[in-house]
Amino acid sequence: MTEVLREPVEKTYADDLKALKADDHHPKPAGWVLSPQAVVTYIVGGKVGKRQIDAKYVGDRRLIETAVATLATDRALLLMGVPGTAKSWVSEHMAAAISGDSTKIIQCTAGTDENQIRYGWNYAQLLAKGPSRDALVPTPLFRAMESGSLCRLEELTRMGSDVQDTLITVLSEKMLPIPELNDAVYAQRGFNVIATANDRDKGVNELSAALKRRFNVVVLPLPDDLDQEIQIVTRRVGEMARSLDLPAPKNVVEEVTRVLAIFRELRGGETADGKTTLKSPSATLSTAEAIAVMVSGFSHAAYFNDGILTAEGLAPNVLGAIVKDPVQDKAVLEEYLETVLKKRRDFADYYTTLTELV
């Protein structure tokens, strides 16, 4: 066990990366640690010699191939999708496999300004000696250009359009002007950008047409198949539980299946058999939210329920995931409980507990 709560994935999965590198005989683009083929194997899983590389992303392999192929060109990559579709998770693993470093990251928000994208200044040195390279404070983007590695931009559309457009010169000319020094930084081979964007948040800033042309967009969907989503949630919950030193209850798959059945019906707007139309809540009820519900359930089971995972322990977390709007979402859940869950014997404990909580 490490004292660090969460290490970068290049450390957590160092053995996978080492095995792939040792067995990688394909040509590598300049500045890449692994070949594109090995990067895809690292992310979607596969056999390398006698070692089985576990999948980091469970989904359409072609989407990952397209994303990796994009990064091998001079076009930047934009991963789009609803919240909880593993955009950040995929971008982190891609950066780790391609550059060996996933930590050059800029979290975009409404308060992000140009200095956080381009560079800042050490004002003590600036006042003492004037503008100089020593007084300049490089951003992750600046450092990625200098080192020929990947920079990650999380939630690109959360920052203002005028700040977004500071990327245009970087992405088109592969250089970052420093007018104060009459100088510029020129990107080394291997440099590129992976951005993520949420296509369902309200109040986001649209990318300008000029910036859109600099990105190749890959949309990561929610899992189509229940079994696939169960596999994703079970695996990620197990990994997170181990990192938190939480024991895994024996009935994990059973409870994951029941929570996902509720989530999928509510977000899809109909029951699994297609016979009943449902109202959907404002929450996305994504795979990531299901993972969060289950991890909280693990913690409750470990500390308050003798390690037993039950509907009574999970239901408050399910309620919190569904009811974001206390009026609208509460009405949606109440209708679902009475018209659907009440009739299912195998969900009786969820019906009883959620009814009491609502």
User: HSE of 340 in the Cβ direction (CA atoms, 13 Å)?
Assistant: 24
Using alpha carbons only, give the angle 4, 8, 9 rounded to the nearest 5 degrees: 125
Residue 357 φ then ψ, to 5°: -75, -40
Q: Please, are residues 57 and 44 in contact by the beta-carbon 8 Å criterion?
A: yes
Ranking 195-204, 306-315, 323-332 by mean pLDDT, the lowest is: 195-204
pLDDT in tens, 30-75: 999 999 999 999 999 999 988 999 999 999 999 999 999 999 998 9
Is the pLDDT at 203 greater than 50? The verdict is: no
Angle at 188 between CA 183 and CA 192, to 5 degrees: 110
How far apart, in whole angstroms, are the C-alpha atoms of residue 126 and residue 116? 17
Q: Over the stretch 323-353, which tens digit does the pLDDT of each residue have? A: 999 999 999 999 999 999 999 999 999 999 9
Cα angle 10-12-18, degrees, rounded to a multiple of 5: 60
Phi, psi of 193 (to 5 degrees): -125, 135
3-state class (DSSP) for residue 289? helix
Q: How far apart are CA 142 and CA 117, in angstroms?
A: 8
275 φ, ψ (degrees, to nearest 5): -85, -20
SS3 241: helix
Tokens for 111? 């308060």
CA pair distance 286, 276, nearest whole angstrom: 21
Give the chain's mean pLDDT: 94
Kindly report, residue by residue over 4-30, the tens digit of the pLDDT.
888 999 999 999 999 999 999 999 999
> Per the confidence metrics, is the pTM higher than 0.75?
yes
Percentages helix, strand, coil for the chain, rounded to the nearest 5? 50, 15, 35
Supply the pLDDT for residue 243.
84
